[in-house]
Structure 1
Amino acid sequence: MAEELGATDGNEQAVNGNDTSPAIAILSQYVKDLSFENPNAPAVYQWQGQPQIDVQFNIGSQKLGDDVYEVGLKIDVVAKHDNGTAFAVDLLYSGLFGLRNIPEEQLQPFLLAEAPRLLFPFARQIVAESVQNGAFPPLMLDPIDFGALYMQQAAQAQAAGGGAQAPEITGQA
């Protein structure tokens, strides 16, 4: 049987050789910015009791070229004690993602929910090692449900009359 011109097979491979199936690839991951501060060393190692730890994060994305997007996961951790700041970690961990044939309505959910989920384990390890290298016990951040946060902030943006998806996600862990 002869194929009809312009027909596609089950893999959505067009007869002319153009692949129209969605494709996602992690091109690269990297530390874009990292800061560890231990402002009260060595006195901090004599303090009694556990510090209060505040974790903030922010997710942003930008298009760098055709089908290439950078997603940045910013994590800020501050450990405060009655005597002052024990330590502070600021990390911007980024990834380059190649996205081809992704429907427009699925682009933002991927960039602001799924991509950060893929980056988080690596960022979490960097935070833990940075804290440990500062002579503190490693800080293992709890997993974050980026999908639920995206849905929550998208609903808030729509309720506020924006109607559009939020360009970035912020939150506390």
Structure 2
Amino acid sequence: MTDTTTTTPPPGAPTGGLARPSIIITSQYLRDLSFENPNAPEALTPGTTIPQVKVNVDVKTRALAENRYEVTLNIKGESDVADKKAFIVELSYAGVVGVENASREQVGPMLLIEAPRQLFPFARQIIADAVRNGGYPPLLIQPIDFVELFRRQVEAAQRARAQDAGVTPAAPTA
């Protein structure tokens, strides 16, 4: 029998005295919302064709203070019915995000992947409600792969830097 006691930390607990990187969303808010219904009521007439919808998503960040950032999720949805614009919905939904225990290399992915992933359900609901209130079925945006969006942003930034330096970048791999 010994006088020492060993305790095992629970799964996921920090080890070695180092805390895990984390983000904390301290506030979230609607920054801008626009809904245009340029061809109402004709576009709402029963029997019209099913609208074709195109959705674009972008994420922007800006530093507010040390380890505090604003992350803005910009979503634009456009719908056409019989070659006429049915509706346009544009949303900027933002959150103030605190980043803790993260290295410089970790901050970008945390702000451009994890923060928008947490903001997205709220933005999706606002868009669905706005489109429904415009007389159309709710626009239920499918989950977004923010990892892929981040990867594309990194590749675009690398291409821009290479062009500025006069270097031809390698083609992206699939």
TM-score for the superposition, normalised by structure 2: 0.76
* Residues 149-164 of structure 1 aligned to structure 2 (within 5 Å): 149-158=149-158, 160=159, 162=161
User: Is residue 2:30 matched to residue 1:31?
Assistant: yes
Residues 49-92 of structure 1: CA distance to partner in whole angstroms, max 9, x if unpaired? 01211111111000011221000000000101225111110000
Q: Is the Cα contact below 8 Å between 2:28 and 2:96 reproduced in 1?
A: yes
* Residues 1-173 of structure 1 aligned to structure 2 (within 5 Å): 10=15, 12=17, 22-46=21-45, 48-82=48-82, 84-158=84-158, 160=159, 162=161
Residues 80-110 of structure 1: CA distance to partner in whole angstroms, max 9, x if unpaired? 1225111110000001101123100001111
CA 1:124–1:66: 2 relative to 1, 3 Å: same
Residues 111-167 of structure 1: CA distance to partner in whole angstroms, max 9, x if unpaired? 111111111111111110110111111110011110122124324544x3738xxxx
SS in 2 for 1:162: helix
SS in 1 for 2:144: coil
Q: Is the Cα contact below 8 Å between 1:53 and 1:79 reproduced in 2?
A: yes
* Identity percentage of aligned residues: 44
Q: Structure 1: any 5+ residue segments left out of the alignment? A: 1-8, 14-19, 164-173
CA 1:153–1:67: 2 relative to 1, 3 Å: closer
- Residue correspondences, number: 148
The residue identity in structure 1 corresponding to 2:111 is: L
CA distance in 1, matches of 2:142, 2:15: 41
CA distance in 2, matches of 1:115, 1:21: 16
Q: Is the Cα contact below 8 Å between 1:12 and 1:21 reproduced in 2?
A: no
CA 1:11–1:134: 2 relative to 1, 3 Å: farther
The residue identity in structure 1 corresponding to 2:89 is: V
Q: Is the Cα contact below 8 Å between 1:37 and 1:89 reproduced in 2?
A: yes
RMSD value, Cα: 2.1
